[in-house]
Amino acid sequence: MVKIVVIGSSSMDLVVTSDQRPGAGETVLGRSFKTVPGGKGANQAVAAARLGAEVYMIGCVGDDHYGTAILENFKQNGVDVTNVEPITDTESGTAHIILAEGDNSIVVVKGANDSVTPHYVKKSESLIKQADMVLIQQEIPEETVEYVSELCKELDVPLLLNPAPARPLSKEVIDSASYITPNEHEAAVLFDDRSTESALKQYPNKVFITEGKNGARYFDGDKEITVPSYRVEVIDTTGAGDTFNAALAVALAEGKSITESLQFANRAASLSVTKFGAQGGMPNRSEVEECL
Ligand code: RIB
């Protein structure tokens, strides 16, 4: 069983389903409202655990009822929460999601996720040292992503950086990470001075650009390769990227080839969109293997 350490956000998703998305100054009637666990870090931790990894979460929650529910959800999914602390007088992170017209729009309020500082993460250095793969995203402070990328390089632990949501990254961070998985929008922010083709060429077998239902692209040192995804009936795309990243981390940590790992990740992500909620459709290992 591979050991995955996830450093990132844990939130509660407040999800409104509606036929249409309101424009500025407009009010529309929604169909339903649901509260479900989310946050990119937590989603990736839960997805990796369902795929059979031993998963340790490093993060923060608020001292509110969402925080209690988030911790309970981790435990139910077999994620170790020894390194997830409730922060006094602080709200848990929340994501305010509208599902309309076949896609989602999300506003994230970081809350306690802002307390995942370099100083906080440093306390778990001995755990990070033992990881087969560290997974990180960007719903936590920028300096933490910088610190973790340096730390993983120093400790020689592979780091998979999911640069979501988009924000620019220094060349040092990009160079230190072992794998980077932007979607097309995030790739344009990361590599704003060049085309995605040249960015892929500059980082062979390291940068994987995800393109939703079209799969994922990378450069293998010789040519650009697209690993296609799978056609499914889409209910909710929230969390598909997180499932992809978790599955990719698990497969690479297990020693699968890059192509096999991307197929595994595409398969897991395609299953995740067939049910409601970021974590609702995240598959377990046997579901992915049966489909492959
Ligand atoms: O990646 C999906 C996640 O992004 C949601 O669960 C929501 O919490 C937002 O942060």
Give the domain extent around 230.
3-291
d(CA 4, CA 180): 16
* Identity of the residue numbered 31: R
Q: Residue 231: pLDDT above 90?
A: yes
Q: Residue 292: pLDDT above 90?
A: no
Task: Report the CATH number that the domain containing residue 242 is assigned in CATH.
Answer: 3.40.1190.20
The 10s digit of each residue's pLDDT in 79-113 is 999 999 999 999 999 999 999 998 999 999 999 99
Best residue among 10, 43, 138, 243 to mutate for probing ligand 1, ranked by most atoms within 8 Å of CB: 43
* 244, 87, 144, 135: CA torsion to nearest 10: -20
Q: How many domains does the chain have?
A: 1
242 is catalytic: yes
The 10s digit of each residue's pLDDT in 18-67 is 999 999 999 999 999 999 999 999 999 999 999 999 999 999 999 999 99
Q: Residue 258: pLDDT above 90?
A: yes
CA angle 236, 242, 248 (to 5 degrees): 125
Nearest to 133 by CA among 172, 159, 102: 159
Contact 227, 216 (CB under 8 A): yes
Q: Judging by beta carbons within 10 Å of its beta carbon (0-12, 13-18, 19+), is residue 15 exposed, middle or buried?
A: buried
139 CB within 6 A, ligand 1: yes
Please measure the distance between the N-terminal and C-terminal CA atoms of the chain and give it in whole angstroms: 20
Distance 278 CA to ligand 1 centre (A): 7
Q: Residue 12: pLDDT above 90?
A: yes
Q: Judging by beta carbons within 10 Å of its beta carbon (0-12, 13-18, 19+), is residue 230 exposed, middle or buried?
A: middle
Nearest to 227 by CA among 178, 274, 268: 268
Best residue among 6, 9, 13 to mutate for probing ligand 1, ranked by most atoms within 8 Å of CB: 13
The 10s digit of each residue's pLDDT in 194-230 is 899 999 999 999 999 999 989 999 999 999 999 999 9
- Predicted local confidence at residue 173, as pLDDT: 98
- pTM equals 0.97
Rounded mean pLDDT of 112-141?
98
- Name which residue sits closest to atom 7 of ligand 1, judged by CA: 39
Strands 93-100 and 103-109: antiparallel
d(CA 239, CA 242): 5
Q: Which residues of 63-74 are buried (b: 16+ CB within 10 A; e: fewer)?
A: bbebbeebbebb
| C-beta neighbour count of 18 within 10 angstroms | 16
Distance 13 CA to ligand 1 centre (A): 7
- Predicted local confidence at residue 9, as pLDDT: 98
Percent of the chain with pLDDT over 70: 100
Q: From the alpha carbon of 94, which atom of ligand 1 is closest?
A: 8
Q: From the alpha carbon of 9, which atom of ligand 1 is closest?
A: 10
Q: From the alpha carbon of 11, which atom of ligand 1 is closest?
A: 8
The 10s digit of each residue's pLDDT in 138-183 is 999 999 999 999 999 999 999 999 999 999 999 999 999 999 999 9
